[in-house]
């Protein structure tokens, strides 16, 4: 509450529209395209157990896509968020022999691969407004489906120069 002089003009309150809630997406991709995308249920946070469950689904997706790939080294890059660096996650990664690319210290919020993927998506969205959460998720899935392999290949090979 602000103190005002009795002769001060009345402040107008603008009608506020309720904005859509934030949608949290985890996306795993390689030089050929999206391997797995996972949308967190509304209001749910991510923890190490949920992240390991997602890694299990990723492993199953890789196995279905290319059985020979699991015989080679799988390399992930993720940030240093607690679910990624938790003991449970580290044990999971060691069990399956998956390698983690180091995440640069003092890096911006989005990792280089995130910038390659999500900045163009944000540009694509522009001023779009969605009525429901499922509308925004559908738009995300459609956008991924329309990207060609060249887009993903450029993103993966740009990691070499970083």
For the chain, give the mean pLDDT: 80
Flag whether 44 is in a domain: yes
- For 95-123, what is the mean pLDDT? 76
pLDDT at 89: 95
pLDDT at 7: 77
Partners of residue 58 on adjacent β-strands: none
Q: Which two tokens stand for residue 45?
A: 């946070």
Are 147 and 33 in contact by the 8 Å Cβ rule? The answer is: yes
Flag whether 80 is in a domain: yes
Flag whether 134 is in a domain: yes
Confidence bin at 2 (pLDDT 50/70/90):
low
Flag whether 103 is in a domain: yes
Q: How many domains does the chain have?
A: 1
Flag whether 16 is in a domain: no
The CATH number given to whatever domain includes residue 56 is 3.30.420.10
Q: Which two tokens stand for residue 92?
A: 């999971």
Angle ∠(30,158,160) on CA atoms, nearest 5: 95
Q: Which residue has the tokens 């157990």?
A: 49
- For 113-141, what is the mean pLDDT? 83
Flag whether 84 is in a domain: yes
- For 60-65, what is the mean pLDDT? 80
Flag whether 99 is in a domain: yes
pLDDT tens-digit readout, 74-100: 888 888 889 999 999 999 999 998 988
Flag whether 18 is in a domain: no
Confidence bin at 53 (pLDDT 50/70/90):
very high
Enclosing domain of residue 54: 25-161
């Amino acid at each position: 509450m602000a103190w005002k002089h009795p002769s001060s003009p009345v402040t107008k309150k603008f009608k506020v529209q309720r904005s859509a809630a934030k949608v949290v997406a985890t996306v795993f991709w390689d030089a050929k395209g999206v391997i797995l995308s996972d949308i967190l249920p509304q209001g749910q946070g991510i923890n190490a157990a949920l992240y390991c469950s997602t890694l299990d689904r990723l492993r199953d997706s890789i196995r279905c896509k290319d059985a020979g790939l699991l015989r080679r080294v799988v390399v992930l890059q993720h940030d240093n968020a607690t679910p990624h660096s938790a003991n449970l996650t580290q044990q999971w990664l060691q069990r399956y022999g998956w390698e983690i690319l180091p995440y640069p210290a003092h890096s911006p919020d989005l990792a280089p691969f995130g910038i390659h993927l999500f900045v163009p998506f944000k540009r694509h969205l522009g001023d779009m407004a969605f009525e429901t959460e499922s509308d925004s998720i559908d738009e995300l899935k459609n956008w991924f489906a329309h990207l060609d392999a060249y887009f993903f290949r450029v993103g993966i090979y740009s990691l070499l120069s970083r």
